[in-house]
Amino acid sequence: MTICCINEEALDVVYAHCARATRGRTREEAALLYGLPCIDRGFNPFTWIWLAVPAVTTASATHVEIREESFLEAEERVASPEASVLGRRPILVGWAHSHPFDGPGSVFMSGTDRETMRLRFPRDHHVGLVLDPKSGHWGVFGWVDRQVAPVAARVVRDPDWKRHFWCAEVAP
């Protein structure tokens, strides 16, 4: 996957959750990202994220672990008809987490983050979003030539965004 599109509302949820959780303290936070693997009009694959679900975590300044109940709660939420787009239920396409350090140098995938991608998010369409809620810097990482690497990301602000994509048939 070489590109990721994320709806502005989903990015706002991630920012709000991570900023609220880190206010007054320095600790990582996380969210689960839902959407679908898609194909653009030029038949190029990309990951579309339209829903972010804040996660319950165990965290410190340099480590975050998404607790299992977060996955179960998120699956219940995406099972609701409101989460579907054009009759398609979103699937887990990745995760987001904060590096609350400060500055563009804080947006990277650590060795632990890469291992999380390998173990929990190993498919071509899976992505990891890293953000610094203090500075506002963020970036998306995905699978490029079987390695976790930065991928292009675009924020979608079009209120009629649903008309812009074709979804690939991918089993969760």
Residues 11-69 have pLDDT tens digits of: 999 999 988 766 666 788 999 999 988 877 777 888 989 899 999 888 777 778 899 99
CA-based nearest residue to 53, from 5, 91, 102 = 91
Triad 74, 58, 102: Cα angle to 5°: 100
The first and second tokens of residue 133, run together, are 């809620």
Give the least confident one: 79-83, 108-112, 140-144: 79-83
- Parallel, antiparallel or unpaired: strands 3-7 and 147-156: parallel
Write down the architecture of domain 3-158 according to CATH.
Answer: 3-Layer(aba) Sandwich (3.40)
CA-based nearest residue to 4, from 49, 50, 42 = 49
Please say if the pLDDT value at position 71 is more than 60. Answer: yes
What average pLDDT does the chain have?
85
Residue 171 pLDDT level (bands cut at 50, 70, 90): very low
Q: Could you give the CA distance from residue 1 to residue 76 in angstroms, rounded to a whole number?
A: 27
Give the least confident one: 40-44, 96-100, 129-133: 40-44
Residue pair 35/48 in contact (Cβ under 8 Å)? The answer is: yes
